[in-house]
Amino acid sequence: MQYWTKIIGLGQYFLFSIFIGTYVSHTNLDIMKLGIFSMSLSVKDLSTSKAFYEKLGFSVFAGGMEQNYLVLKNEHTIIGLFQGIFEGNILTFNPGWDENAQTLDKFDDVRDIQKHLLNSGVQIDNPIDESTTGRASFMVKDPDGNVVLIDQHV
């Protein structure tokens, strides 16, 4: 009897594994690869904001004071400080980049993301010409008016 219990148990395990594997592979097909996320903050004084975020453990990763923007990093968290470049704060995704601004092997091109969003009924504020390749960006607003920037650098 114990022999059959073990066989039935193994059968249930394999069926469960097949179900979970199938479920995971099917659900992951619909997930867009947006790349690294950062918060882009519009600041009044770049030096003052830099000093504040350094107290929180952030350090300069990219940009420059003379360019009126800095990108700061603390482990896997990235924020951008922008003085006089745009109004309001922006949620930013960079398709094709990892957290170190290195090009990913696999990513969804910004034009494919745009097409998916348009097909889903999302209004694009500044649509990209789909016949182009490489660097491009567009913005959308969430239902509460928050700006989301999809900004591809590769």
Residue 10 has pLDDT above 60, yes or no: no
How many distinct structural domains can be found in the chain?
Answer: 2
CB 43 within 8 A of CB 83: yes
User: Out of 11-15, 49-53, 82-86, which region has the weakest mean confidence (pLDDT)?
Assistant: 11-15
Clarify whether residues 27 and 40 are in a common domain. no
Same domain? 73 vs 9: no
Query: What's the whole-model pTM score?
Result: 0.77
pLDDT in tens, 53-88: 999 999 999 999 999 999 999 999 999 999 999 999
Contacts of 52 (CB under 8 A, 6+ apart): none
Alpha-carbon torsion, ordered 86, 47, 98, 146, to 10 deg: -30
Instruction: Let me know whether 12 and 83 are in one domain.
Output: no
Print the domain residue range for 121.
36-152
Same domain, 64 and 7: no
User: In the structure encoding, which two tokens stand for residue 35, read together?
Assistant: 């790349």
